[in-house]
Amino acid sequence: MVDQVSKKTMTGVVVSNKMNKTIVVKVERRFAHPVFKKVVKTTKKYKVHDEKNECVEGDFIRIQETRPLSKEKRWRLMDIVSKEKTLISEKVE
């Protein structure tokens, strides 16, 4: 019987959606420095598979670890936590 392995999940902000079915997500991590005991922020970018091309820049999303899908893609989109708020003004002429 195969043991079910829990996959890592993270939340982050979409910084690029210029590729087809791929988005770049910035994940921020905060931790206490082991020596100086000060809270440190680090960021890392991940390439994420977005099958329906539904994310736009600024969306706050949840991603999950998966098998390698390409050279750098090892994450997939789980769900969109909150959409980016933009005011779309259409000119009616």
Classify domain 9-82 at the CATH topology level.
OB fold (Dihydrolipoamide Acetyltransferase, E2P) (2.40.50)
Can you give the pLDDT at residue 4? 73
Can you give the pLDDT at residue 3? 62
Question: For the chain, what are the domain ranges?
Answer: 9-82
Can you give the pLDDT at residue 86? 61
Q: What is the mean pLDDT of each run of 10 residues along the chain (93 residues)?
A: 79 95 96 96 97 93 95 95 66 46
Can you give the pLDDT at residue 5? 77
Q: Quick check: 89 and 62 in contact, CB under 8 A?
A: no
Please give the Cα distance from 57 to 72 (Å, whole number): 20
Can you give the pLDDT at residue 89? 43
